[in-house]
Amino acid sequence: MAALHHYLSIADLERAARKRLPACVRGYVCGGTEDGVSLQQSLQAFSRLGFVPRGLRHVAQRSTATTLWGQTYAMPMGFAPTGFAAIVMKDCDAALAKVAQAQALPFIISGASTVPLEQLQNAHDQRCWYQAYLPGNMARILPLLQRLERAQIPVLVVTIDTCVGANRENLQRLRFTVPFRPSWTLLLDGLRHPRWSCDVFLRTVLSQGVPRFANLAHEAGPAITADPPHGFRGERDQLDWDCIDQIRAAWKGKLVLKGVMHPEDARLAVAHGADAVIVSTHGGRQLDACISPLQALPEIRQAVPAGYPVFIDGGFRRGSDVLKAMALGADLVFTGRPQLFGAAVAGEAGIAHAVQLFRQELMTNLALLGVNRPQELTADCLRIQGDFSLPPSQR
């Protein structure tokens, strides 16, 4: 960790990660779709809200701990599912699980990950959740649910915003595809980044061969260079609310829907038995020109019953970002890119450093806001930046 003290923010980690990753990997991790509007909206939304702090408050008893479904977490934060993390760091999924366990954070295994979920769950002491890219075909879904049940996965997260592949022009220009297809362009890119080529590509291939889609279905899939038996997105465009009803009937654990952006979908999630929703635009990687998850959050909070868990991801880079979301009604915030930036810079230690940056900022900002716990925050502590309306007596 001695070398990491120079990285004072997630932005510092991101700048270093961008330099160390080949262009194709950088494009996959950092890029959005089409014109990148959704991605930029997610990042810029936080600057449109300003805090109104309180002073002379006793804030010596600050705590970031939060409890959800009988489980206590160290912060109201967790690791979002990040597919293809193996291209950032060898066995990145295992490192993410290990850090999440050590830091007492929820970790969502991606359906597009390469380390078997059973291995991750055993290492994570039952804190792992699992995120699924599901087809609209119960004959394919049920065996996966049985696998999750055997592995004692407590929370199933169903992604609802990937019915088709998005128009990722940036990756097409970089010759990067999913499944991964080697090319001379990618080879040259790797040669220009020898550290990545040695530490990630060569170490992975020499020790275990080409990584596999380990968790897409009820059994390990093919190498990431090949299409799964039904295609990577086969029958996803048939997933609908009837499927959710059938999943709810078959799945005994908690059920979370990820990618909820419309308040009516939030109401439907409640009506169809989901235990929580995640407000998300898939990191700005699906439909472009979306509003930001932060902007969608207040309406979704109002659309569901009081006490119903509402989570969010998308664009979080500071502890202050997390607290703004909490003030608007989020119960948990999930991050994806920040821990991948840390992994690219310093492996497992870099992931832990990213968590520590958030932790430090949360503790500092709680004190400066005049509260002891994130759950004390409400929208009363926020104002829209640039709104200079004056009280009646001063007009």
Q: Which residues are catalytic?
A: 282
Q: Which of 362, 359, 358, 348 is nearest to 1 (CA)?
A: 348
- State the amino acid at position 32 in one-letter form: G
How far, in Å, CA of 340 to CA of 294, rounded?
Answer: 22
Return the beta strands (E) in 63-202 as ranges: 66-68, 71-73, 77-79, 107-109, 128-132, 155-159
Q: Which residues contact 137 (CB under 8 A, 6 or more apart)?
A: 235, 238
Asked whether the beta carbons of 339 and 14 are under 8 A apart, the reply is no
One-letter amino acid of 25: V
Could you tell me if 211 and 86 are in contact, meaning their C-beta atoms sit under 8 angstroms apart?
A: yes
Kind plus residue range of the DSSP H or E element containing 77: strand 77-79
Rounded Cα gap, residues 350 and 274, in angstroms: 34
Main-chain phi, psi angles of 90, to 5 degrees:
-60, 130
Residues in the chain: 395
Sign of the alpha-carbon torsion through 202, 203, 209, 215: negative
d(CA 281, CA 255): 19
**Cβ atoms < 10 Å from Cβ of 60:** 7
- Across 237-276, b (16+ Cβ under 10 Å) vs e yields eebeeebbeebeeebebbbbbbbbbebebbebbbebebbb
